[in-house]
């Protein structure tokens, strides 16, 4: 499984980011371009995951995203785990969307 740091991810142009956290976590703050598919819904919603480019899977700290990325890889999707998750994202001072506003 490949990992990427949040700073390396933030430097990419238009990455496809799948956020596998629960709805209350998503609402508290997420990366602007992320697609929200909670880990528990990923099996049923795998068809919504783009397959033409690598997808970057993020959660709160890296555990659930690792599971999600492994599942996606088993389905033939090139998936990359975001090391440290949204915790590392926020600690790095990267922008998040919360309640419709970028913070």
User: Smallest Cα–Cα separation from 55: which of 66, 45, 69?
Assistant: 69
pLDDT at 23: 94
pLDDT at 95: 93
Distance between CA atoms of 21 and 5, rounded to whole angstroms? 18
pLDDT at 64: 97
pLDDT in tens, 80-96: 999 999 999 999 999 99
Distance between CA atoms of 19 and 6, rounded to whole angstroms? 13
Domain 2-96 has CATH 3.40.250.10: yes
Q: How far is CA 76 from CA 29, 39, 50, in A?
A: 29, 17, 11
pLDDT in tens, 11-24: 999 999 999 999 99
Q: Catalytic: 59? A: yes
Structure-model confidence comparison of residues 92 and 98, the more confident one: 92
| Entry pTM | 0.94
Distance between CA atoms of 34 and 17, rounded to whole angstroms? 5
Distance between CA atoms of 100 and 76, rounded to whole angstroms? 33
Q: Where are the domains of the chain?
A: 2-96
pLDDT in tens, 26-84: 999 999 889 999 999 999 999 999 999 999 999 999 999 999 999 999 999 999 999 99
Distance between CA atoms of 95 and 44, rounded to whole angstroms? 30
pLDDT at 4: 97
**Which is catalytic among the residues 17, 18, 57, 59?**
59
User: Smallest Cα–Cα separation from 30: which of 43, 39, 20, 40?
Assistant: 20
pLDDT surpassing 90 at residue 103: no
Q: What length does the chain have?
A: 103
């Amino acid at each position: 499984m490949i990992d990427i740091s949040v700073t390396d991810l933030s430097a990419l142009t238009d990455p496809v980011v799948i956020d596998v956290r629960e709805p209350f976590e998503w609402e508290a703050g997420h990366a602007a371009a992320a697609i929200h598919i909670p880990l528990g819904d990923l099996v049923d919603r795998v068809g919504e995951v783009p397959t033409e480019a690598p997808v970057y899977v993020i959660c709160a700290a890296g555990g659930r995203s690792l599971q999600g990325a492994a599942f996606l890889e088993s389905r033939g999707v090139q998936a990359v785990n975001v090391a440290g998750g949204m915790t590392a994202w926020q600690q790095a001072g990267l922008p998040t969307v919360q309640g419709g506003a970028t913070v």
